[in-house]
Chain A
Amino acid sequence: MKLQKALSYSPRADFIVEVIQMVSGLLLVLFLWTHMLFVASILIGSNAFNGLSLFMEKNYLLPAAIVFLVLVGGAHIGAVIRRIPSRWAEQKIVWKHAKLIHHADTWSWLFQSVTGAAILALAIIHIAVVTYGGIDVIYSSGRIKHGFLVFYAVLLLLAEYHASVGLYRIFVKWGWVKRHKLHWVLGVISVLTVGIGATVLWIFFTMGVHA
């Protein structure tokens, strides 16, 4: 123990931040999956989708979701930012390092910060659009028709990638499952999520075309 630490230090600080990172991450993954399930209601039909969105509006679930995202997302960003090499020199080192040692998991971590940053930007746009534009089959399909298809496809892929890698990392770190099995399970979940998302996008897109 050093003096500066003894004076200012909560011995649990690092532990608490670690827990925040994990819990916020898990919540965000949960949110993502719920979100995907809700969106998937379009698979049942336009009425189901609109009904669900109406229900959410009535019960203030939409603003609640936004508050949730800001808080939890903020906490997550706050917690992970300490992990991201902040100095230019460090950035250079880690990229060089990843190139040097040919290690898949090391690359996936670098992508993690890149995808994280991208998701942040895209998600803000997404939320803004949804908040102002509202959620409705017509609006949504219209948006997707008019240039947002690529935007959503990218966001979907990034989010799912980031989520599954993050989950993988949590399970590995805590040693809850064997790595091999984990790869497999997460692979299946990712394919499912992306599959659902892609189908939904496609439906909206075709609707938009026909509208």
Chain B
Amino acid sequence: MIERELTFRIMRYNPDEPEKKPHLQEFHLTEEPGMSLFVVLNKLREEQDPTLRFDFVCRASICGSCGMLVNGRPTLACKTLTKDLPDVTTLLPLPVFKLLGDLSVDTGVWFRDMSFRTESWVHTDETFDPDAPEKRMDNAVALEIYEAERCIECGCCIGGCATANIKPDFIGAAGVNRVARFMVDPRDKRTEREYFEVVGNEDGVFGCIGLMACDDNCPVGVPLRDQLAYVRRKMASAGWRYQKV
């Protein structure tokens, strides 16, 4: 195999030095077999520029820390292998989220805020009885909940969404999917009307204009289009029946 010389154009920005405009810095390194962007970025930091900032945690596409734009496409850096990249690759941080430095963005705060706004917990009045066996649940329902719960909060769907890029309050596919997760859960006692008040509006599911960049870019393959459509239909029927009290 001929060794490739790879070029990475990486966005540099340090919030401590706001006078320096964000700019692209070029780095070069030699490709190795099985190399991922996780390996690349760590090598660059350790061998070329120790101030380079980026986020990885699990390095196994499980935790959702490393979303960034790889040649424009929002994806997880840890699961991007260099063998799938051209000789020159541009790395940019995800848009929408607060920029913490270079490729590092504050997805955590965004998702926490979204979780609060969608009240992402099981709403129930039942109390837990430690002596009773668990409530039964059909396995198909459990799987359906898990299908939505699989979201790893990486933010790729948000960074790639045109609406989220201009509407700061839009909860995006991640938010709508989150609501879907609780809607299908029989343990959550919220009524359709209560859900409608959370997502039946422009900041929720009716803000979606159907570009489906989220569905195209979700790195873990959550069926976002189906989830968006599911919530939209539910909310339409809730909207239809909604009576002002």
Contact = CB atoms under 8 A, between A and B. Distances in A.
Interface in B203-241: 206-213, 216-217, 225-226, 228-230, 232-233, 235-236, 239
B87 interface: no
A75 B211 CA distance: 22
Given A15-B236, A105-B211, A106-B213, A172 B206 contact: no
A7 interface: no
Nearest to A86: B166
A110 B202 CA distance: 19
Interface residues of A, number: 34
B236 A101 contact: no
Nearest to A91: B166
Contact of B197 (A1, A83, A85): A1
B14 interface: no
A169 B209 contact: yes
Given A97-B95, A102-B73, A179-B225, A15 B212 contact: no
Interface in A2-47: 10-19
B210 A173 contact: yes
A102 B162 contact: no
Could you say which interface size class chain B belongs to? 35 or more
Nearest to B208: A173
A101 B74 contact: yes
B206 to A, nearest CB: 5
A188 B38 CA distance: 44
A17 B211 CA distance: 19
B200 A11 contact: yes
B212 A179 contact: yes
Nearest to B95: A97
A55 to B, nearest CB: 38
B232 A174 contact: yes
Nearest to A102: B72
Interface of B: 69, 71-74, 92, 95, 160, 162, 165-166, 196-197, 200-202, 206-213, 216-217, 225-226, 228-230, 232-233, 235-236, 239, 242, 244
Interface of A: 1, 10-19, 82-83, 85, 90, 93-94, 97-98, 100-103, 105-106, 109, 169-170, 172-176, 179
20 contacts: A11-B242, A11-B244, A13-B201, A16-B239, A82-B202, A83-B209, A85-B166, A90-B166, A93-B165, A93-B166, A101-B69, A101-B74, A102-B71, A103-B160, A103-B217, A105-B211, A105-B213, A106-B162, A106-B211, A109-B209
